[in-house]
Each structure stands twice: as structure tokens, then as C-alpha cells.
């Protein structure tokens, strides 16, 4: 208790310097936490993917469609439990800045594949039986103030024209990481309209979502699906949902690496700042450390004082930084919800914050401790602090 | 005729030099003398004569090049650093010229500091600290920080800190060097009282002849050589 009191009082002996150092650590921890949360948000789709879901797409590129006739043949592959399909619609609601993901899907099986999208049974029934029906996530409905029964008009970009939908269902995420900002509508509505307007684009889907009976055989099932369509006009590429999502992420890998590097550079910079503070502190207190040694305190006691003081400063900054991370992340998440539907501070991010602050506190104290411990008492006493 | 007291400090052929670059500067040369138990010794000499170095050596905070120092029968030149730290904590009380109190600790906490290295309970430590502060006349200043005390009062806290472990010897390096005449007189009287009434062996380095007058014995150091007893 006595030593804790001494550490605390010593830490705030130079209030301005300590306060500025703590502010620096707070900002560094906040920046580190936000950058890590940003990276996590980038990978949210990957994290939310299921091992029991496969994605089958055109082997050439995702932009090339597959025939709807593949559905029954995929269904017949051993190990396949459920098949749904869909297309990226890319519609715009009023203005381009109102972006949200919207898909035309075979809705009944699609929702079976995604049990994390929780939709009341009566709403599901209404969606399935109304060709123009759509389902949106809770956050998306809140964002635009939509209610069940509202008519929503999207302007097609890939599929021309104005498309009218009736909101029949609002899903909730079962878990914190579930995306609640998407919109789904009946693929049949899209297909019938295309059959009338652009017949050559009818009966085609962008992807198949495949549910496997046993996730441990997912690789075999994927290989079997692709084998079924080998040497056809539209060969397929089937991969796990996670690999499919990672394929998107890999396109922006350089940005992610840059953000990761910046997050670590922030920690290295603050480590240098704290090391400077501790070096100044130790230099000023050499006389006191000599007095402590004179009184019988040993090197381990002196080391405890320097390390303790460094840790008090770094962990105080860390505590404030972590406390601020939550409201700042919430504000960021709200402001960037169009681009990052999932922007949550993960427990591992907080653990990394604490680990980084501990490392800063320890590394910053190494050189000052060495100086304080190794100085000869007679030399230390000659210095007037 | 009274039987002479046995020496509490025995110094034999003690030499110490400092190195400045390639130059070796001798500070103490072949010093041999004894300090009897209960003595009040003043070490005098010009600046750079080696008196503070000698004080540091016999208090175990510096190491000699050659020679032997026995304090209370313990050959301290042979003690490893860890044991030497423990020995200092229990056998030596230090009084510095600039008090060297810890500014973030109260008078009570400063005096308690050496007791943290003992096995005393909190209650026992409190009793020891209160006694030490009472002896130096600062029982009413326990919660004061050093910055709230005068120079003389700070030095009295430093003396209480030196006393609190009931050490074998008290060493004082210019204890009145930073004090006005009145405060200096108070501090010297206090040290003298500790020597006479509590029987503490006091070894004091001073430039001040008035301070030295309080001592039983005065020894002069000049160019590393210790002169005869002169008081």
C-alpha cells in the first residue's frame, strides 16, 4: 500500500508532463483500438461466414452469371442439403449516397441457410407469397424509417428501370456480428421482369448458396459441384463462404496491411514518448534513488519503483483510452454504417490495447531502470536533484 | 582510571583513489584508525581532502581500493552488495547536508521509509516513527510534507529517519551546511544529545569549527592523510 502510494505520488510529481504523456497514451490507445476495430469491421463478413455454406459462381468471374438450370443438378450432388440462389441487384434508393446491399434471392431457402437472420414466421410467410415483397435488416429499416407495408422504390443500375417493392419483413441479427443492413427480395420478381424487358438476361443467377450436410466434407462437396459442370459453357468455382468473402478482402489487402502497420507505428511512437518521460524522470531522481539505496533498498526495489511508475502512467492512459474507445467506435459506426454495417469493439481489441500499454510501460522503463539501478550511491548523492 | 571503550569502527590501511580518464587521483592513503563505541567524532579538512569519501567508505556506500573496515565486528569490505544493503539498513543512520527527504512523502512517511525493509508490523512501525519524531521534537508535524517544513525541521526529520532503525553508528555529512546559525545550533545540540543520552556513535564531517566543537574528537584530513587526534 505504501509503495503504491509512493508510485502514484511520484507519477504525478510533474503534473503537466505526466498529464501530457497520459494524453498521448490515451490518443495512441484510442487510435490503435479504432484501427483494430476498423480492420475487424473489414473482416466482419468473413467472421460471420459459416463453415456449412458454400458459394458457387462462374469460374471466369463473379460478373458472369450461371444458368438457373444448375440448381437441380447442384441439389443432386452428394452432401448438398439446401440450395438457394441470387443476384446482386445494386439498386439505389433515392440517391447514391443511400447505399446499402440489395440482392434478388430465392428467399425461402436463402433464409434457411442463414438462421442468424431472424424473421417472424408470419412475415416470412408474407414475403414468400408476395412476389414484390422484400425483407430488410433492422438497422436499415431504422435508418430510413421504413415500416411493414411501406412501398420502397429502387432505381436499377445493373437491371434498368424503377423497381417497386413492398416491405413485408424486417429481420434481426441473432448475434452481435450479424449484418442488419441488407435487403433481399424475390428473385422471381427480377427474373419475370427481365424476361419481359431483356429476355436474354432471364433465367440467370449471379451465385448459388449451397448448404452442406456435413461441414467437414465441404471441400469434397465443392469439388463435386465443380466437377459436375466441368467442360460446360459456364464452368463453376465453388468455395466456402469464408473463402468467398476473403476473395473480396484480398482485393484490398494492401490497404489492410497499411492500416495494420500504422496501428503498430502509433504504439512505437508512444513508446518513444513514454521512454523519454521516464528517462527524464530517472535522471531527475538519481539523487533520490541513491538515497533509497543508502537506506538499504536494493536494485530490485529501485527497479520496481521505475517500472511501477512507468506502468502507472501507461496503464492510466490505457484505461482512459479503452473507456473512450467504446463511445468513439459507436459514433464512428453510426457515421460509417453505410460502409461498415458491423463496427463493434471486439474483446480481443481491448486485450491488444492492454497488451500494448503494458509493453509500452515495460519497454519505456528498461533504460531508466538500468541507469537508476547501476548508479553508484556516492555518485548519485553528489547530484542535487 | 576508566577502561577505554572497545572500538566500534576499526579502519586499517585504507586507500581509495578515483580515476579521471587515464589519470589516477589518490584520495585516501593508507588510513588506519579506530573509533570507540559511543564516540562523537568530527572529521575536518579542506574541500577535496577525502573526508566525505572516508565517511562513505565506513558507511558502506562506497568501496575501497585496499584496506579493511570493520564496523561492530563486521568486515564490510568483504560483504557482497546485497548483504551490504541489508547491513546499511540496520547498522547505519545517515544525515545528509541537503536532508535528502523524499518530497512526495510526509514527515511520518519519510521516517517510516527505512522500516519498510524490516519485518515490523504497521502498528509497530507507527510506534517507532512516532517515538523518533518525538525525540527530534516534531511530533506535531507528522503530516507535513518537506516543502511545508523549514530547513531545520527537514533536517530533524532526516535525523529521525536516521534514528528510527536504532543503528550502530550515525554518520552525518555536513549536517548544518545548509542551515542558518540558529537552526544549525539546534541540530548540533540534537546530535550531541543523541550521542550523550542514547549513546549513539556519531561520525560527522564538517567544515564548521563551531560544529566540530561539539565533538569529543576532531580529526583532520589533508591530501588523503589523517592527522592526529586534536581534541
Strands of B21-113, DSSP E: 23-36, 40-44, 66-71, 74-75, 92-95
Residue A9 sits at the chain B interface (C-beta within 8 Å): yes
**Residue B231 has which C-alpha cell?**
581534541
CB-CB neighbors (< 8 A) of B90 in chain A: 296
**Minimal Cα–Cα distance from B85 to chain A, Å?**
4
Decide if pLDDT at B42 tops 80: yes
Q: Which of A182, A202, A206 is nearest to A191 (CA)?
A: A202
Pairing of strands B40-44, B217-222: parallel
- Name the residue of chain A whose CA is nearest to B93's CA: A295
Q: In this structure, what C-alpha cell is assigned to residue B24?
A: 589516477
Is B137 an interface residue toward A (CB < 8 Å)? no
Whole-number average pLDDT of chain B: 90
Q: What DSSP character marks residue B184?
A: H
Chain A contact present for B180, CB below 8 A: no
Residue A211 has a pLDDT of 94
B223: Cβ contacts below 8 Å, ≥ 6 apart: B49
DSSP β-bridge partners for residue A58: A236
Contact A376 B62 (CB under 8 A): yes
Nearest Cβ partner for B114 among A5, A287, A296? A296
Q: What is the dihedral of CA A4, B164, B44, B27, to 10 degrees?
A: -50
Does A6 contact B112 at a Cβ distance shorter than 8 Å? no
Give the nearest partner residue to B98 out of A295, A296, A384, using CB atoms.
A384
* Cell numbers at A39, concatenated: 480492420
Residues of B in contact with A9 (CB under 8 A): 104-105
Of A9, A288, A297, the CB nearest to B117: A297
Distance from CA of A297 to the nearest CA of B (A): 7
Distance separating alpha carbons of residues B69 and B77, to the nearest angstrom: 6
Question: Distance between CA A281 and CA A179 in Å, rounded?
Answer: 49
The verdict on a CB contact (< 8 Å) between B88 and A9 is no
* Beta strand B7-20 pairing with B92-95: unpaired
User: Cβ of B65 under 8 Å from any chain A Cβ?
Assistant: no
From the list A2, A293, A381, which residue is nearest B85 (CB)?
A293
Dihedral over alpha carbons A361, A364, A365, A366 (to 10 degrees): 120
Domains recognised in chain B with CATH numbers: 38-61+91-226 (3.40.50.300)
Which pLDDT value is given to residue A97?
A: 87
Chain B residues within 8 A of A378 when measuring between CB atoms: 53, 56, 61-62
* Cβ pairs bridging A and B (under 8 Å): 58
Chain B 77-136, residues with CB within 8 Å of chain A CB atoms: 81-82, 85-86, 88-90, 94, 96, 98, 100, 102-105, 109, 112-114, 116-117
pLDDT band at B64 (very low <50, low <70, confident <90, very high): very high
Q: Do B104 and A298 touch (CB under 8 A)?
A: no
C-alpha cell at A346: 471486439
Of B62, B86, B112, Cβ closest to residue A377: B62
User: Which of A10, A12, A296 is the best substitution to test chain B (most B C-beta atoms within 10 A)?
Assistant: A296
Q: Which three cell numbers stand for residue B181?
A: 546559525
| Contact between B186 and B137 (Cβ < 8 Å) | no
Alpha-carbon distance A363 to A301, whole Å?
18
In terms of Cα–Cα distance, which of A242, A245, A243, A238 is closest to A221?
Answer: A238
Q: N- to C-terminal Cα distance for chain B?
A: 19
How far is A19 from A268, CA to CA, in rounded Å? 19
- Give residues 295 to 334 of A whose Cβ lies within 8 Å of B: 295-298
Instruction: Report the 3 state secondary structure along B139-157.
Output: HHHCCCCHHHCCHHHHHHH
- Each domain of chain A, given as residue ranges in start order, spans 2-44+252-382, 60-234
| Cβ distance of A296 and B86 shorter than 8 Å | yes
The verdict on a CB contact (< 8 Å) between B89 and A295 is yes
Q: Does B96 contact A381 at a Cβ distance shorter than 8 Å?
A: yes
Q: Is A10 close to B104, i.e. CB distance below 8 A?
A: yes
Q: What residues contact A33, with CB distance under 8 A and at least 6 apart?
A: A321, A322, A325, A329, A345, A349, A350, A352, A353
CB–CB of B51/B58 below 8 Å? no
Rounded to a whole number of angstroms, the CA Rg of chain A reads 29
Q: What is the pLDDT along chain A (385 residues), one digit of tens a residue?
A: 777 888 999 999 999 999 999 999 999 999 999 999 999 888 877 777 787 899 999 999 888 999 999 999 999 999 999 999 999 999 999 998 888 999 999 999 999 999 999 999 999 999 999 999 999 999 999 999 999 999 999 999 999 899 999 999 999 998 877 889 999 999 999 999 999 988 899 999 999 999 999 988 999 999 999 999 999 989 999 999 888 888 877 778 888 899 999 999 999 999 999 999 999 998 999 999 999 999 999 999 999 999 999 999 999 999 999 999 999 999 988 888 777 878 889 999 999 999 999 999 999 999 999 999 998 898 888 754 3
Given A287, A288, A378, which is nearest B61 (Cβ)?
Answer: A378
To the nearest whole Å, the CA of A295 is away from the closest chain B CA by: 5
- Strand (E) or helix (H) holding B209: helix B209-212
Answer whether B85 sits within 8 Å of A297, measured CB to CB: yes
Chain B residues closer than 8 Å to A291 by CB = 96, 100, 102
Please tell me the predicted confidence (pLDDT) of residue A379: 86
d(CA B228, CA B231): 9
Residue of chain A whose Cα is closest to the Cα of B55: A378
Tally Cβ neighbours within 10 Å of residue A1: 6
Give which of B195, B162, B192 is closest to B37, Cα–Cα. B195
**C-beta atoms of A293 and B116 within 8 A:** no
Provide the pLDDT for residue A385: 36
Q: How many CB atoms lie within 10 A of CB B89?
A: 20
The ipTM is 0.90
SS (H, E, C) chain A: CHHHHHHHHHHCCCHHHHHHHHHHHHHHHHHHHHHHHHHHHHCHHHHHCCCCEEEEEECCCCCCCEECCHHHHHHCCCCEEEEEEEEECCCECCCHHHCCCEEEECHHHHHHHCCCEECCHHHHHHHHCCCCEEEEEHHHHHHHCCCCCCEEEEECCCCCCEEEEEEEEEEEECCCCCCCCCEEEEHHHHHHHHHHHCHHHCCEECEEEEEECCHHHHHHHHHHHHHHCCCCCCCEEEEEHHHHHHHHHHCCHHHHHHHHHHHHHHHHHHHHHHHHHHHHHHHHCHHHHHHHHHCCCCHHHHHHHHHHHHHHHHHHHHHHHHHHHHHHHHHHHHHCCCCCCCCCCCHHHHHHHHHHHHHHHHHHHHHHHHHHHHCCHHHHHHCCC
Amino acid at each position: 500500500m505504501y509503495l503504491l502510494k509512493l508510485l502514484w505520488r511520484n507519477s504525478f510529481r510533474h503534473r503537466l508532463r505526466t498529464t501530457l504523456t497520459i494524453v498521448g497514451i490515451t490518443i495512441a490507445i484510442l487510435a490503435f483500438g479504432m484501427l483494430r476495430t476498423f480492420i475487424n469491421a473489414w473482416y466482419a463478413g468473413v467472421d460471420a461466414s459459416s463453415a456449412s455454406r458454400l458459394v458457387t459462381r462462374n469460374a471466369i468471374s463473379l460478373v458472369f452469371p450461371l444458368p438457373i438450370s444448375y440448381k437441380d443438378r447442384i441439389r443432386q450432388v452428394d452432401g448438398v442439403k439446401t440450395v438457394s440462389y441470387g443476384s446482386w441487384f445494386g439498386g439505389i434508393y433515392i440517391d447514391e449516397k443511400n447505399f446499402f446491399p440489395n440482392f434478388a434471392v430465392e428467399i425461402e431457402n436463402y433464409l434457411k441457410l442463414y438462421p442468424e437472420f431472424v424473421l417472424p414466421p408470419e412475415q416470412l410467410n408474407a414475403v414468400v407469397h408476395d412476389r414484390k415483397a422484400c425483407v430488410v435488416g433492422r438497422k436499415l429499416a431504422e435508418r430510413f424509417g421504413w415500416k411493414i407495408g411501406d412501398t420502397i422504390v429502387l432505381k436499377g443500375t445493373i437491371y434498368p428501370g424503377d423497381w417497386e417493392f413492398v416491405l413485408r419483413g424486417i429481420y434481426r441479427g441473432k448475434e452481435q456480428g450479424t449484418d442488419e443492413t441488407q435487403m433481399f427480395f424475390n428473385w422471381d420478381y427480377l427474373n419475370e421482369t427481365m424476361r419481359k424487358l431483356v429476355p436474354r438476361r432471364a433465367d440467370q443467377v449471379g451465385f448459388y448458396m449451397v448448404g452442406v450436410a456435413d461441414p467437414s466434407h465441404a471441400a469434397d462437396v465443392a469439388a463435386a459441384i465443380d466437377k459436375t459442370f466441368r467442360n460446360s459453357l459456364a464452368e463453376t468455382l465453388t468455395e466456402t463462404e469464408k473463402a468467398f468473402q476473403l476473395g473480396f478482402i484480398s482485393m484490398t489487402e494492401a490497404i489492410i496491411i497499411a492500416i495494420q502497420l500504422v496501428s503498430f507505428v502509433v504504439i512505437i511512437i508512444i513508446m518513444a514518448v513514454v521512454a523519454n518521460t521516464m528517462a527524464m524522470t530517472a535522471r531527475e531522481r538519481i539523487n533520490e534513488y541513491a538515497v533509497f539505496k543508502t537506506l538499504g533498498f536494493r536494485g530490485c526495489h529501485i527497479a520496481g519503483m521505475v517500472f511501477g511508475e512507468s506502468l502507472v502512467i501507461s496503464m492510466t492512459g490505457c484505461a482512459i483510452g479503452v473507456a473512450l474507445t467504446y463511445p468513439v467506435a459507436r459514433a464512428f459506426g453510426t457515421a460509417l454504417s453505410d460502409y461498415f454495417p458491423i463496427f463493434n469493439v471486439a474483446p480481443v481489441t481491448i486485450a491488444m490495447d492492454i497488451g500494448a500499454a503494458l509493453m509500452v510501460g515495460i519497454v519505456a522503463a528498461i533504460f531508466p531502470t538500468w541507469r537508476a539501478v547501476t548508479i553508484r550511491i556516492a555518485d548519485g548523492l553528489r547530484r542535487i536533484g | 582510571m576508566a577502561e577505554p571503550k572497545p572500538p566500534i569502527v576499526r579502519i586499517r590501511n585504507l586507500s581509495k583513489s578515483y580515476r579521471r580518464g587515464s589519470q589516477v587521483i589518490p584520495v585516501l592513503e593508507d588510513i588506519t584508525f579506530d573509533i570507540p563505541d559511543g564516540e562523537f567524532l568530527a572529521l575536518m579538512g579542506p574541500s577535496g581532502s577525502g573526508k566525505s569519501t572516508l565517511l562513505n567508505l565506513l558507511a558502506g556506500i562506497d568501496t575501497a581500493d585496499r584496506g579493511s573496515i570493520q564496523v561492530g565486528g563486521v568486515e564490510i569490505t568483504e560483504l557482497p552488495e546485497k548483504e551490504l544493503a541489508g547491513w546499511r539498513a540496520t547498522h547505519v543512520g545517515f544525515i545528509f547536508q541537503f536532508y535528502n527527504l523524499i518530497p512526495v512523502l510526509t514527515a511520518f512517511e519519510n521516517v517510516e521509509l527505512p522500516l519498510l525493509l524490516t519485518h515490523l508490523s504497521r502498528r509497530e512501525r507507527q510506534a517507532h516513527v512516532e517515538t523518533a519524531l518525538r525525540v527530534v521534537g516534531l511530533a506535531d508535524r507528522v503530516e507535513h510534507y518537506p516543502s511545508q517544513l523549514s530547513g531545520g525541521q527537514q533536517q530533524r526529520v532526516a535525523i529521525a529517519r536516521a534514528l528510527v532503525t536504532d543503528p550502530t553508528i550515525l554518520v552525518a555529512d555536513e549536517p548544518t551546511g545548509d542551515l542558518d546559525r540558529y537552526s544549525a545550533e539546534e541540530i548540533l545540540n540534537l546530535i550531541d544529545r543523541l550521542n550523550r543520552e542514547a549513546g549513539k556513535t556519531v561520525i560527522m564531517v564538517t567544515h564548521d569549527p563551531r560544529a566540530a566543537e561539539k565533538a569529543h574528537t576532531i580529526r583532520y584530513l589533508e591530501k588523503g592523510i589523517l592527522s592526529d587526534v586534536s581534541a
